[in-house]
């Protein structure tokens, strides 16, 4: 398959998915996205629900909060353009998650059931893997 036909295939598939209607009631069920405004290392998130674990500290990062919904750990990622100061006075426009790049750490424990909602605010289609 050549590159042009792959692009056409994925563009058509993306248009099909984008054309699906999402009810307002479904959008109301999303967990509130948490947006980080500081690039400082955040203290570890102490779990109040879900399986117990020892939280990690992500240098220059933070842990994405979650909610428990019928035994499922739910996270909300927002893919969006962000501005990051990589050295004093040197700002870079990049893509990130929840206001930061790199995005937040998602912590789960073996056996957790997980659901990740993704809101795409990028000017292009995106995937999460």
Q: Where are the domains of the chain?
A: 29-120
pLDDT at residue 57 in the model: 80
Q: pLDDT of 65-97, one tens digit each?
A: 889 999 999 999 999 999 988 889 999 999 999
Single pTM value for the model? 0.66
Local confidence band at 5 (pLDDT 50, 70, 90 cut-offs)? low
Q: How many CB atoms lie within 10 A of CB 32?
A: 8
Binning pLDDT at 50, 70 and 90, where does residue 120 land? very high
Residue 39 pLDDT > 70 = no
Share of the chain above pLDDT 90, in %: 33
DSSP string spanning 3-68? HHHHHHHHHHHHHHHHTS---HHHHHTSPPPP-----SPPPPPPPSSSS-------TT--BPP-EE
């Amino acid at each position: 398959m050549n590159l042009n036909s792959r692009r056409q295939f994925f563009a058509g598939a993306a248009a099909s998915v984008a054309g699906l209607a999402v009810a307002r009631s479904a959008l109301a069920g999303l967990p509130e996205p948490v947006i980080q405004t500081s690039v400082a290392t955040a203290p570890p998130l102490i779990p109040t629900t879900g399986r117990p674990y020892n939280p990690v500290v992500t240098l220059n990062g933070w842990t994405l909060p979650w909610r428990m919904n019928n035994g499922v750990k739910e996270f909300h990622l927002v893919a969006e353009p962000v501005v990051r100061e990589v050295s004093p006075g040197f700002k870079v426009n990049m893509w990130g998650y929840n206001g930061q790049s790199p995005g937040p750490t998602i912590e789960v424990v073996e056996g957790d059931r997980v659901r990740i909602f993704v809101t795409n605010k990028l000017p292009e289609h995106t995937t999460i893997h």
